Amino acid sequence: MHVTSLSPGLEMHNENKKDNGAPLEAIPPLGTIERWAYDYLQTPSIELRMSPPPLPNKWEEKPVARAWVRPLRPPSLRFTHRSKTPKAKTLSQPSQRAKLLHTFFHHELQAGELFAWAVLAFPEAPLPVRRGWIRLLFDEAKHMRMYAAHIERLGHKIGDFPVRDWFWERVPACPSATSFLALMGVGLEGGNLDHGPRFAAMLEAAGDPEAGAILRQVIADEVAHVRFAVEWLGRLGVRLESLADFQALLPPPISPVLLRGLPLNREARTQAGLSGKWLDELEACRLESRPKPTRNEEATECPN
Ligand SMILES: [Fe+2]
Ligand SMILES: [Fe+2]
């Protein structure tokens, strides 16, 4: 079986599939970047996710959209629909810091996987956008390695704590490259610019400056990821002049209010190219205009 998922909530579409589960459009040809992205998702290896193999140097000549692809994960990862973020007062315990960093690791994993997915799902996106997504995937792999190394220093390993596939449950609903840039780049990665410094300060206050430094490095890298999304949305005709422009690109039931932390990290978000007016609207938006989120719609609160 080529296409499967090991996480609850990750359904594959079954129409037009070969007996082995792959759609008739099937698997990208060997030696292409699309096949590399496909194999990145289909090889059940955490090591490969953290240290991707070298890229081929050619793109498929006439790629088809392969939004149906879902990641195959190592059995060592345990999934849950609900996970609790450790409270600040518990972070003096190494196991609680490891649990927190394990959550961050899993966000990096999903982000890297979703950039590979976007390359496959949106072949119509301009080549520099697809190239950029691959570049960001390598950044996410670097972030995974940073977190995994510190989790080991704390006496744990990847797989020791359950993880929640919130990104994968939501992002594949994006119908277009611009929707993906909005949700993944401006929404999820943008929200992490708000949450990251708060968690870094919590880890430093708990006596783990090394963990705090890792988060601060990750956040610095993520500014460039958000800027990539903002700049390309602009080039593709989405100027993000009001929050409504942003919300229109988000697949329901995602609301901008789920994609920010308060206070906003205005300095980082401004560096990423978001305007003061847009940030004012993001800061002011409230959940009352939408139904209360269900358990699975709650915001993610951790950096990726
Ligand atoms: Fe990122
Ligand atoms: Fe990251």
Q: Which residues contact 198 (CB under 8 A, 6 or more apart)?
A: 261
Q: Which amino acid is at 13?
A: H
pLDDT, residue 12, reads 40
161 alpha carbon, distance to own chain's centre:
19
| Domain boundaries defined on the chain | 74-297
| Ligand index nearest the alpha carbon of residue 229 | 1
Tokens standing for residue 206: 């708990």
> If you measure from the C-alpha of residue 14 to the centroid of ligand 1, how many angstroms do you get, rounded to a whole number?
30
How many angstroms is it from 203 CA to the middle of ligand 1? 21
| Ligand 1 center from residue 73 Cα (angstroms) | 20
User: 133: CA distance to ligand 1 center in Å?
Assistant: 10
Ligand that comes closest to the CA of residue 104 = 2
Q: Is 99 in contact with 209 (CB distance < 8 Å)?
A: no
Kindly give the distance from the C-alpha atom of residue 75 to the centroid of ligand 2, in angstroms, as a whole number: 23
Whole-number Å distance, alpha carbon 78 to ligand 1 midpoint, is 23
Residue 170's pLDDT is 95
- Which ligand places an atom closest to the C-alpha of 108? 2
Cα of 143 to ligand 1 centre, how many Å? 9
Distance 24 CA to ligand 1 centre (A): 32
Q: How far is the CA of 188 from the centre of ligand 1 (A)?
A: 9
Would you state the pLDDT for residue 286? 85
* Ligand number nearest to the C-alpha of 224: 1
pLDDT, block means (10 residues), the chain with 304 residues? 40 43 76 98 95 97 95 91 87 97 97 98 98 98 98 98 94 98 98 97 98 98 98 95 94 94 96 97 78 47 52
CATH class of 74-297: mainly alpha
Residues 6+ apart with CB under 8 A from 261: 191, 194, 195, 198, 301
Give the distance (Å) from ligand 2 centre to CA of residue 302: 11
Q: What is the pLDDT of residue 297?
A: 44
Rounded Cα–Cα distance for residues 83 and 53 (Å):
31
Cα-to-centroid distance, 142 and ligand 2 (Å): 8
> Other C-beta atoms within 10 Å of 49: how many?
27
pLDDT of res. 10: 47
Query: Which tokens in the block code for residue 272?
Result: 């990423």
State in Å: Cα 222 to ligand 2 middle: 6
Residue 218 CA to ligand 2 centre (angstroms): 6
Q: Which pLDDT value is given to residue 81?
A: 83
Q: 3-state DSSP call for residue 6?
A: coil
Residue among 271, 267, 272, 278 nearest 245 (CA): 278
pLDDT value for 287: 72
Nearest ligand to residue 228 Cα: 1
Rounded Cα distance, 181 and 204, in Å: 32
